[in-house]
Structure 1
Amino acid sequence: MKISRRARFESADAIAPHQFSVMAHVEKGLDRPGALAREERISAPSLTRTVNGLVERGLVESNADPDDGRARVITLTNAGKQALTDVRRSRDAWIISRIEDLTDQECQTLREAQDILSRVARA
């Protein structure tokens, strides 16, 4: 968690961490505000503010659901897709700069820790 948090805040991204998270969920197929709010564990009004900010920046679109005009469907724009790619590249560069000088043994230890943490997360 510390490394993840540090990578989010150390990289000079134009997208705030909470905005990136919402956009990543949209990319994975969550496109309804209610589902996004539940996934993010935030209130509907907070999610609406986040989405509105992303709409204003041209990173997502919020359109009426064709099957239910009262509901909204959130989609990434091309600019939003590019922004996600840029943030991921920036974060990758940040972590690579931190681990490139590790010894072979330290890299092996990280691989083993990754396997253990993945098992713990699945349990």
Structure 2
Amino acid sequence: MPEPTGNPPAELPAASSPEPEPEPEPEQVALRLSAVLGRLLRRMRSTSSEGLLTPTQRAVLARLDREGPATTAALARAEYVRPQSMRLTVGALESRGLVERAPDPADGRKSVVSITRTGLEVLTTLRTAKNDWLAEALAAELDDEERRTVAEAAELLDRLAGG
């Protein structure tokens, strides 16, 4: 048996701890976030619309619901499409009873487009389907802690969006 020397035992070298990951640059986060949000939005829209409406038709209904009646020209500007394209979109929605046109009280040469009760019902159905899909995906794909993280991230994203 070795005799004690009075010296403390030699220390083992410290286990090398992994280098902390560098903080991501805002530009990198912006690129990743933009790509992921784009994919998520496309998935949600395709799941909720399922051929019922084109993305532009859905956007027009949502805008009319959110902002109230508008001229075709104003809708075209808001959706970044040509007025001719918006006239076709509004015509398709009108033929399905989802919007209606009425003379513009300020300028009788123009017409104002508004969403109908049927349009609101369709929009509500689409929104419900989108929210149902997202809730099911959150429950199926994420555990409790991950859902809490997503909820916290949603608060931060809301702040970024000015909410």
What are the within-5 Å matches in structure 2 for residues 1-123 of structure 1? 1-11=38-48, 12=50, 14-28=52-66, 29-101=68-140, 102-122=142-162
When the two chains are superposed, the root-mean-square deviation of aligned CA atoms in Å is: 1.7
Larger radius of gyration: 2
Q: Unaligned 5+ residue runs, structure 1?
A: none
**Which structure carries more helix by proportion?**
1
Q: After superposition, what is the alpha-carbon deviation per residue over 1:77-101, rounded to whole angstroms, capped at 9, x for unaligned?
A: 1111111111111111111121113
Q: Is the 8 A contact 1:60 1:77 kept in 2?
A: yes
CA distance in 2, matches of 1:30, 1:120: 28
TM-score, length basis structure 2: 0.69
Is the contact made by 2:69 and 2:112 (CA closer than 8 Å) also made in structure 1? Answer: no
Paired-residue identity, %: 36
2:98 and 2:117 in contact (8 A); partners too? yes
Structure having the higher strand fraction is 1
Checking the alignment, whether the CA contact within 8 Å between 2:44 and 2:134 is kept in structure 1 is: yes
Structure 1 runs (4+) deviating above 3 angstroms are none
Equivalences, count: 123
What's the CA shift for 1:30?
4.6
Q: What is the rounded CA distance, in whole Å, between the counterparts of 1:30 and 1:106 in structure 2?
A: 41
Partners of 1:13 and 1:87 within 8 A in 2: no
Determine the structure 1 residue equivalent to 2:16: none
Q: Distance in 1 between matches of 2:47 and 2:126?
A: 11
Contact 1:60 1:80 in 2 (8 A): yes
